Structure 1
Amino acid sequence: MTQATTRGEAADGSAASPVESLIRDLPKVELHVHLEGSLPPETLLELAAKHRVADIPGTLAEIRDWYAFRDFPHFIDVYLTSVRALRDEEDFARLARDVARRLAEQNVRYAEVHVSLYAHLMRGVPAHVVFAGIEEARREAERLHGLQLRWIPDFPGDFGVEAAEQTLDAVLRDGPGSVVGFGVGGIEVDRAPFADVFGRAVAAGLHSLPHAGENGGPERVWSALRDLRAERIGHGIDSMRDPRLVEHLAQTRIPVDVSPTSNVCTGAVATLEEHPLPAMLAAGLLVTLNTDDPPMFGTDLLGEYRAAHRLGLSGADLAGLARNGVSASFLPPEEKRALAAEIDAVLAAWSAGRAD
C-alpha cells in the first residue's frame, strides 16, 4: 500500500466518528516515535537548503512522493538520507521543538523519543551537539506545554557491533539524565551479537528498548528478550506467528509498542485491515499505540487512534490503549496513577455524554 492510500484511509470518516471527541480529549503518551523520523517536510526543505544537502527533493510535492516507500529497506534509505539535513545544535533544537509542539497539540503529556544517534556520529556530528539541541527543546516543552520528553538513543543493527559500542560510549559520556533507554533499529538483523553492549547499557541504568519482530519473525523477539533483556518490544507484530511467544508476552506483561500505519507504509502488513492489533489485544498482550515516524507515514497519534477504531476497537478499548501507554512508560508511579485516573475520567464523561 502506498502512503497516499494510507493517508486517505486515515482521513476517511474521522470527522464524523462518534469517538472523535474521545480521541482528542484522552491524555496520551507516545513511547515509540523517532525524533529524526518526525522531521516535518517543510523543515526538512529548509535545513537541506541551509546546508546544501544533495539527494533530498526540493519541493513538498517531491518529498511526499519520496515518502511512498517500496519496502522497508527503501524506507531506511530515505530515512538515512533525510537525517543528513541535521548538522548543528540549532537544527536539533528546532526539530525537537517542532516535535514537542505537535505532540502537545494532540494532548500528549509524556513521550519517550528514539534518537538515531549513530546516524549523526557516523557523519561526524558529536553527541554533545545532538544532546545540547534536544535538551534545550525538552526544557522548553516542559515549560511551555507541560509535556515531558525523554530520550532513547539507538543505532541501526545492520551497522554492526562497533556501531552499537560507539553509540553507547557516546551516551555514557555525553548523555543527559533525560536519557531513559538504549535501543536498536534499522534493518532487522540477529539481535544476539548485541548482548554484551546491551548488558553494559543495562548495568549503567538504561532500559533495554529494542526494535524486534517488525518484519524479522518471532525469533527476533525471542532474541531481544533472551539476549538483550528487553523491557519493551518495538513493533513486535511478528510475535503473533508464535503461540508460545504470545503466551509468554501475555504472562510476563512485557509491553509491545505497535505502530499500525507505519507497518502498512513499510510493507510489514499489506493493509490496515490485516493488522494484528485487535488479535494482539484479544490475546492479552500489553499493547501501546504509537506513530513511529509520523510525517514520513502521513499520520499522527490522533490518526493512529482513529485507525485503531476502524479496526473495530471501541471507545473503551481506545482508553485502554491510552492506559497501556501510561503503564508501559517510565513515568514515576504517582504520575502514572494521576494520568490513568484522568484517562478514566475522560472516558466516563464521554460515555455519559453518549448515554444522554
Structure 2
Amino acid sequence: MAGLATQAFDSLPPHQKSFLRSLPKAELHAHLNGCIPLDCLIKLALDASKSDGPQPPLVREALQILKAGLNLNRIEDGFKLFPAIYHITSTPKAIALATSAVLDFFLEPTSPGVPPQCVYMELRTTPRSTPHMSRKEYLSVVLGEVVKRGGKASLIVSIDRRMSPQDVAECISLAIHFRNSGQPIVGIDLCGNPLSGNMKAFHTLMDAARDAQLPLTAHIAESERNTAQDTAEILSWSPRRLGHATFLDADAVLKVSREKIPIEICLSSNLVSKTVESLSAHHLRSWLELGHPVIICTDDTLLFKTNLVAEYALLLARPPLGLGFEEEEIRRIAQMGFRYRFHESRKTWNAVQKIARFKN
C-alpha cells in the first residue's frame, strides 16, 4: 500500500493508529475483482501461463501498470484493467483462490497482535460466464469461500450496466435461487461504467429483486456526464444504499436527503479517479453536516492502493493529508456501517417495501 490514504495513516501518532486499527468497522462496498491482492494476482497469472501458455498482452500490460502504480485521468480509465483481471480469474480454481485472498485481506489479522481491517464485510461481484464455468458455477464457488468465514462475510450480486436485460434477469434469478437455498446473499448491486446502458430497461427487473426481498445498492451519479434522467431512474428503484453519489443533481439531493438513503463513501477511489478535486472538496463533509448516513468503504483496494484502516485515516489525519475529524465523530461514522448493512435487513424488509411503494 502506497496510496494517498496510506500517507494519511503514516502521519498519525501511535495512539491514533491503534485507535483506527481497533475500531470495529464494516466494509460494505468492495468489489471482488478490484480487491485481489497484487501478489495473489501475479501468482494466478503465472499459474495460468503454465497451463494456457504465454500471458496475453493485455495481462502483461495490466500487471506492469499495477506494479508501477495506477494513475487515472478519468474514472473510465480504471475499467480498462478489468478484462485482464477477468482473464486471470476465469477458472473455478482461480476465482476461489482470489475470493479467499480478498476475504483474508479484509477479515484476517495482517500480523500477530494487529486486528483485521474489519469485522464484517459485504463483498460484491458480478457473476461471469467463461469457457470454464457458468454464472451459476461462478457464484457457487464464490459463496463457498464466503460461507467459510462463518458469518463475518456476505455476498452482494452485482449487475453490470452493460448487461442485456436477459443477462440481468439471469443474475437476479441466480441470486434469488442461492439466497432461498440458505446461502449468504444479502442484496443486489448496480455497477459498471457509469456512462453505459439504458437504465429504464432494468426497471421491472429491479422491481423483481425488490419483491424477492433483495435490497439494492446502486452506483449512482459517478460521472459529471451522468444525466439527471439516469439518476432519477435509478432512484425510482428505491435503493437501500447508494454508491459514490458524487454528482447528484438538486432534485436527487432533495430525494436522497429526505429519504435518508445511506451513501457509501470511497475517498481514495474518488481522489485517484479525479471525480473530486481534493479531499477538502469531497461531498462527504456536506452530507455529514446534514446529519445524513454515510459508510466509509474502499471500492477497489488493488486499483487505489488502500485498505479500510487507511480510508479511516483520511478522516482522522490533519489537513492537508486528512479531514481532521475527532475520534468520537469517526466512531459514530463507523457505527453506521453496521446500522446500514444488508445482513439483517430482511427482518424489516416488508415494512420498508411498503413505505417505498407508498412514496413512489
TM-score by length of 2: 0.80
Given that 1:42 and 1:60 are in contact with CA atoms closer than 8 Å, whether structure 2 keeps it comes out as no
1:31 alignment partner AA: L
Contact 1:246 1:285 in 2 (8 A): no
Once the two structures are TM-superposed, the CA of residue 80 in structure 1 deviates from its matched residue by 3.0
The secondary structure found in structure 1 opposite 2:210 is helix
Asked whether the equivalents of residues 243 and 264 of structure 2 are also in contact (C-alpha less than 8 Å), the reply is yes
| Letter in structure 2 aligned against 1:327 | R
Runs (5+) with no aligned partner, structure 1: 336-356
How far apart are 1:255 and its partner, in Å?
0.9
Q: How does 1:312-323 map to 2 (within 5 A)?
A: 312-323=324-335
Structure 1 equivalent of residue 157 of structure 2? 153
**Secondary structure of the corresponding residue to residue 214 of structure 1:** coil
> 1:195 aligned to 2:198?
no
State which of 229, 238, 243 in structure 2 corresponds to 1:229.
Answer: 238
Distance in 2, Cα, partners of 1:268 & 1:123: 36
CA contact under 8 A between 1:93 and 1:135: conserved in structure 2? no
Amino acid at match of 2:242: I
Task: For 2:231 and 2:286, locate their aligned partners in 1 and report how far apart those are by CA, in whole Å.
Answer: 17
Mapped contact 1:278–1:312 kept (Cα < 8 A)? no
Q: Is the partner of 1:167 in helix, strand or coil?
A: helix
| Deviation by residue 1:245-269 (Cα, 9 ceiling, x = unmatched) | 3343233221111101011112211
Equivalent position SS for 1:237: coil
Partners of 1:237 and 1:258 within 8 A in 2: no
1:297-336 CA-partner distances (Å, limit 9, x unpaired): 0000001100122113211111111111111112338x9x
Measured in 2, the distance between the counterparts of 1:174 and 1:94 equals 21
Percent identity between matched residues is: 19
**Which residue number in structure 1 is paired with residue 319 of structure 2?**
none
Matched ranges for 1:193-342 at <5 A? 193-215=201-223, 216=226, 220-226=230-236, 228-239=237-248, 241-242=249-250, 244-309=251-316, 310-332=322-344
Offset at residue 41 of structure 1 (A): 1.0
Call closer, same or farther: CA 1:291–1:44 in 2, change over 3 Å: same
Q: CA RMSD in A?
A: 2.7
Shift of 1:87: 2.3
In structure 2, do the counterparts of structure 1 residues 162 and 303 end up closer, same or farther at CA, with 3 Å as the change threshold? same
State the AA in 2 paired with 1:149.
A
Give the secondary structure class of the aligned counterpart of 2:60: coil
Match of 2:191 in 1: 185
Aligned length: 322
Instruction: Give the structure with the higher percent helix.
Output: 1
The corresponding residue for 2:112 is none
Shift of 1:283: 1.7
CA distance in 1, matches of 2:303, 2:134: 25
Q: 1:269 aligns to what SS in structure 2? A: coil
Superposition deviation, residue 272 in structure 1: 2.4
Structure-2 separation of matches of 1:123 and 1:273: 46
Normalising by the residue count of structure 1, what TM-score does the alignment of the two structures yield? 0.81
- Rounded to whole Å, the distance in 1 between the matches of 2:157 and 2:8 is 29
Encode CA deviations 1:152-208: one digit per residue, 9 max, x unaligned. 111221334343223223434556521111121111145332111111112222111
Choose which of 115, 118, 128 in structure 1 pairs with 2:125.
115
Determine whether 1:33 maps to 2:30.
Answer: yes
Give 1:62-77 correspondences, 5 Å limit.
Answer: 62-65=65-68, 67-77=70-80
Paired residue for 2:357?
Answer: none
The one-letter amino acid paired with 2:336 is: N
Give the superposition deviation at 1:62: 4.3
**Unaligned residue ranges in structure 2 (runs of 5+):** 50-54, 110-115, 317-321, 348-360
